[in-house]
Amino acid sequence: MKQAVVIGGGVVGCHIALELAERRYEVFLLERHSRLGMDTSTRNSGVLHAGIYYPADSLKARLCVEGNRLSREFFDRTGVQYRPSGKFIIARDRSEISEIEALRDKAIANGAEGISLVPQDTVQKRVPCVRCVGALHSASTCIIDTGDYLTTLKTLLMQRDVHLLYECPALAIDGGVRVETPRGSVDADIVINAAGLYADEVARMTGLDDFTVVPLKGDYYCTTALPLEVPVYPPPNHGHGTLGVHLTPTCGPDVIIGPSETPSRGKDNYDIETPFAVFDDSLRDMIPNYEAIRPSLREGFSGNRPRAFRGGTRCEDFIIMKQPDSVIHLLSIESPGLTSAPAIARFVVKMI
């Protein structure tokens, strides 16, 4: 039986481990934390994206669209809690109508499902608490319970006899066929670097030293005072290359507000540091009765996006590459990584 080592126990690493186990590999999944998915996988908005924002023919576009479909099939098959809520990307004034029209064209070119422009009254029938002059509707966007997702992935990995090694980071990769860990070495026919925020450090173990992952911090606030069942996004923040501060209902009673965009002090920095005024400014443009909701806002959580740079230039797309032939590196797996995870896993396994 061939052996595989997957470095990183986020949603992407878990799906890769499952794909390999189903192909009769003996799989060792190395996770630096005491549980799966404690970094990027659970510190985000918990949204299954449709494939709207990404350049045509990019890996992000292709794998997001495929991953949306595969994820929904996976949730239905395994019972992961999710809600097919749809999503509105709103035009807050007439100047933003052209932006959402361009997003519609891009989404259709990418093959995203259920994309349409809708008028103001359609939006306000479903989300009367939000101000807009029109919106792009994405019917295939869903809300995910990421905790339930990780619990289900863990159960499936255990059923397939994957070796789950917690608090066990990769320390070195010797020739691409042996991974050194605090518990000793593991020999492997194939090694998959799915280490997320730390993928650059693992890549350097194989001599791939021109990538750097720079975390981009995102803080969130929460409230139970906002009646919202559909995620509401502004047009993307082009300055930061992010989706901006948005409103996202959860599978529980909270609506989360965020993320902000600020440089992070480190990959393990999860302190909420964004000034409250940043959220104030964003929400006043979207919610007419914001002053009534404002007192109920409370600090939520924080996350770090694994933003990768190569030679000082930002990697706009997912980077999935071999070096050497026995090691596959996944770099710049930021949004839509959560959505794309099962598609990324299939893509990676085909490279072996």
Please report, as a single letter, which amino acid is at residue 7.
Answer: I
Please report, as a single letter, which amino acid is at residue 163.
Answer: H
Q: pTM for this structure? A: 0.96
Q: Which of 290, 115, 339 is nearest to 276 (CA)?
A: 290
Residue 122 DSSP one-character state? H
The answer to whether residues 304 and 39 touch, using CB atoms and an 8 Å cutoff, is yes
Residues 6+ apart with CB under 8 A from 140: 48, 50, 68, 72, 84, 86, 112, 113, 114
Strands (DSSP E) contained in 224-254 are 232-233, 246-249
List the pLDDT tens digit at each of the 352 positions of the chain.
999 999 999 999 999 999 999 999 999 999 999 999 999 999 999 999 999 999 999 999 999 999 999 999 999 999 999 999 999 999 999 999 999 999 999 999 999 999 999 999 999 999 999 999 999 999 999 999 999 999 999 999 999 999 999 999 999 999 878 999 999 999 999 999 999 999 999 999 999 999 999 999 999 999 999 989 999 999 886 554 566 789 999 999 999 999 998 889 999 999 999 988 888 888 888 898 888 888 889 999 999 999 999 999 999 999 999 999 999 999 999 999 999 999 999 999 999 9
Domains located in the chain, CATH noted: 1-215+307-352 (3.50.50.60)
CA 89 to chain centroid, in Å, comes to 18
